[in-house]
Chain A
Amino acid sequence: MAVSGFEGFEKRLELHFFGDDFQLGLRKIDFESIQLVLEQVQCTVVSAVGNAYFDAYVLSESSLFVYPTKIIIKTCGTTQLLKSIRPLIFYSRLIGLTLCSCRYTRGTFIFPKSQPFPHTSFKDEVTYLEDTIPSNLCFRKASIMPSMSSSHSWHVFTATIDHHDQDNELFTMEVCMTDLDPILARKFFRRPDDGKTGHSAGKEMTELTGINDINADALVCDFAFDPCGYSMNGMDGDWYSTIHVTPEDGFSYASFECVGSVNANNIGHVLRKVVQIFRPGTMSVSTTCSGYSNEMWKQMATAVEPLGFKCRSCAMDQFPAAATVVFQTFTPRRKST
């Protein structure tokens, strides 16, 4: 492993709000304010698109999704994601919205020593979250979900008010992949002086790698970084998906995230396509369902089995009035024994 390199593992924050205006809600926050939030985190917008349901931003470090009552912000590298909470609470209050739930998740950093405060350790992150989140979000829990290998675990913090209505049909899937197949990873490098914009080079990668086949109905907003790296957001009605790739050998990383319905049975198909695009040496799949059951994990294991991936660990944890999280890790069969 390289001594230091780009940290692919993202930090992810999901905030839910309530208030009188459910129609536009958070989408009314002006762009200057969003920019100020992103400045705190230390990233910028590289491309963006909106539909009838939400706005999706590709950032210099990952992605931001703004729904009327929900914000999802995911950033990689050495960004200071948790610093976005205070300004987001402030700007949402200006438009009459109040925070009612917060969920922070991340994997295990490849280069933990490079992380700035408050991301220096999970303990520091939790302390920062505890201090930042309004006291009425009193149902809180922090947990590190283990895998068989100590180098890979799933960090979860949730906080919520007493009574928080949630869509019990929705689930979120977060896939983190390391040790990508080097031949496949090479597709996420640009040719020097290709004369293309990051947008057109990104579009080419989307097509060349088969990312556009994951969900053919989705509108894709993509970007290729120079000299390498790739980000995309997909929009399919009110559902988002997002992919981020750090292809450099030694610390290669790719993530896929999407929302889906617990009643639809196509998620296995989606995961299979993702695995085929990256062929990772190690993969973790975290599914979060609102409510107190989470059966999604069975589908995941069955889906990647035919591709030679074996489920090495499976941990489940419940979070007060918030969600049930299942964290699974997979490696190819040949790597076992």
Chain B
Amino acid sequence: MAGSSEEGQVIGCHSVDAWTQQLEKGNESKKLIVVDFTASWCGPCRFIAPFLAELAKKFTNVIFLKVDVDELQSVAQDWAVEAMPTFVFVKEGTIIDKVVGAKKEELQQKLEKHVATASA
């Protein structure tokens, strides 16, 4: 199964199709999804990237998706992304939380909170 090899990874979505597919798959799984809206030219995105990779390894029951705002402009626009990085928390098709900026503690705390609610 494709899912198992992606577990513990931040999955890059490089086309609108791939994005839609990953999002649908994630919503069906009822798992918590964290979408990282990022840009290659954004220093703060490079600052947080290693930390996000660590979180993905640690929170294996959470799906981590990555969207480059230049690559998938329409998606970034639809999701009203204005600053990078923006992390959007999605659960069963609903946006439940958001972190704008590279804020390590905040990202980890919100992850812990939403994982706890999901398993409660």
Contact = CB atoms under 8 A, between A and B. Distances in A.
A31 B41 contact: no
Contacts of A48: 43-44, 47-48, 101-102
Interface in B23-78: 39, 41-48
Given A50-B83, A199-B106, A219-B82, A24 B41 contact: yes
B82 A55 contact: no
Interface of A: 24, 27-31, 34, 45, 47-51, 55-57, 66, 197-200, 219, 221, 235
A51 B41 contact: no
Contacts of B100: 49, 219, 221
A50 B84 contact: yes
B5 interface: no
Given A30-B46, A219-B82, A235-B83, A49 B41 contact: no
Nearest to A35: B47
Nearest to A233: B101
Nearest to A57: B44
Interface of B: 39, 41-48, 82-85, 100-106, 109
Contact of A219 (B43, B83, B103, B105): B83
A199 B87 CA distance: 14
8 contacts: A47-B104, A49-B102, A50-B44, A55-B42, A197-B103, A197-B109, A199-B103, A221-B101
Contacts of A24: 41
Nearest to A26: B43
A200 B99 CA distance: 10
A155 B45 CA distance: 35
Nearest to B108: A197
Interface centre among A27, A48, A198 (most CB of B within 10 A): A48
Contacts of B41: 24, 27-28, 50
B106 A31 contact: no
Contacts of A219: 82-83, 100
B42 A50 contact: yes
A49 B46 contact: no
B84 A31 contact: no
A310 to B, nearest CB: 39
Nearest to B38: A50
Given A219-B82, A219-B100, A221-B101, A49 B106 contact: no
Contacts of A57: 43-44, 47
Contact of B44 (A28, A29, A55, A199): A55
A27 B85 CA distance: 14
